[in-house]
Chain A
Amino acid sequence: MTAIADQPTRPAPGPAADEGLARRLKALACTAPLHDLDSRKVNLAGEYASYTMAEVGLAAIDLVTLNMDFDTGADRDIVLGRLLPRIAAQNPGRAVAEHERVARWVLESLINVGSVDRGFRAVYGTFGPDGAYTRRDYDFKLIEEVPGQDGGVYLRTTDEAVNVLVGALDTDVTSAQIAAEVKLEVLIRRGRLADAQLAAEQARYRTVQYAETLRRALEATRRNVRAVDWMETVPDLIDEALDHIADRYRHENAILTNIRRARDESVDGEHKRRAAELVDIVKDCIRRHTQLQTRLLEAGPLFRAEQDRQAFAAPTARSGIDLYGQLLAPVLTLPLGDATRPTDAFFARATGLRTPVAVRVADLVDLLLTPPVEREHLGAELPEPDLVATPDDSRFSEAQLEAALDLLDLPADAPRRLSGLLADARRRARDLDDEDDRDGDELAYLVALLAVHAASPPVGTAYRQGEERLLFAVDDGTRLDDPGFGGADLIVGSALLDAAGMAADRKDAKGTGTAA
Chain B
Amino acid sequence: MTTTSEAWTPPEGEPAAASAAPAPISPADVAEAARLVSFGLQAKLLPARDAEYGELVRRYREDPPFGRLADAVATGMGLVVLEVSARAGMAVAAAEDSVFAVRMGDYSRRAASESADRFLHGLAHLAVAALAFPRPEDLADDGYLGRVTVNGVDAFVRQACRRLEERAEAEGTNTDPASDAPGLEAAWRVWARRSATGATKDARRLSGSTTGIVSKAVSFLVDSGFLQKTSDDSGGTYRTTARYQLQVRDLAGGAAMAELLDLGVVPVSDGTPTLAPPDESDDLVADAGLPFHAL
Contact = CB atoms under 8 A, between A and B. Distances in A.
Interface residues of B, number: 116
Interface string B242-276: 01000111011111111110110110000001111
A319 B274 contact: yes
B265 A321 contact: no
Interface in A323-355: 323-355
Residue among B133, B182, B257 with most chain A CB within 10 A: B257
A300 to B, nearest CB: 13
A223 B93 contact: no
B59 to A, nearest CB: 23
B137 A349 contact: no
Interface size bracket, A side: 35 or more
Interface in B72-122: 79, 92-94, 96, 98-102, 104, 106-107, 115-116, 118-119, 121-122
Interface stretch (B13-21, B23-31, B280-288): B280-288
Contact of A224 (B195, B199, B287): B287
Interface stretch (B4-12, B46-54, B60-68, B173-181): B173-181
Contacts of B116: 336
Interface string A123-146: 110100000001111110100111
A305 B293 CA distance: 8
A352 B263 contact: no
B228 interface: no
Given A145-B199, A334-B265, A345 B137 contact: no
B183 A323 contact: no
A76 interface: yes
A346 B122 contact: yes
Contacts of A117: 193-195
Contacts of A224: 159, 284, 287-290
A352 B225 contact: yes
B34 interface: no
Contacts of B174: 22, 126, 136
A324 B256 contact: no
A123 B176 CA distance: 9
Interface in B186-204: 186-191, 193-199
B141 interface: yes
Interface string A378-407: 000000000000000000000000000000
B169 to A, nearest CB: 12
B196 A334 contact: no
Nearest to B277: A325
Given A219-B155, A350-B251, A326 B275 contact: yes
A320 B125 contact: no
A353 B186 contact: no
Contacts of A336: 115-116, 119, 182-187, 190
Interface string A233-273: 00000000000000000000000000000000000000000
B41 interface: yes
A151 B215 CA distance: 12
B204 to A, nearest CB: 11
B1 interface: no
A321 B193 contact: no
Contacts of A138: 176
Contacts of A149: 234
A227 interface: yes
A315 interface: yes
A266 B293 CA distance: 53
B103 to A, nearest CB: 8
Contacts of A226: 281, 284-287
Contacts of B100: 353-356
A136 B258 contact: no
A306 interface: yes
Given A332-B157, A353-B102, 14 more contacts: A118-B198, A126-B174, A224-B290, A320-B133, A327-B130, A329-B160, A332-B123, A333-B265, A334-B265, A336-B185, A340-B118, A347-B121, A347-B122, A353-B224
11 contacts: A117-B194, A223-B291, A306-B293, A319-B137, A320-B137, A323-B139, A327-B256, A336-B119, A336-B183, A337-B184, A343-B125
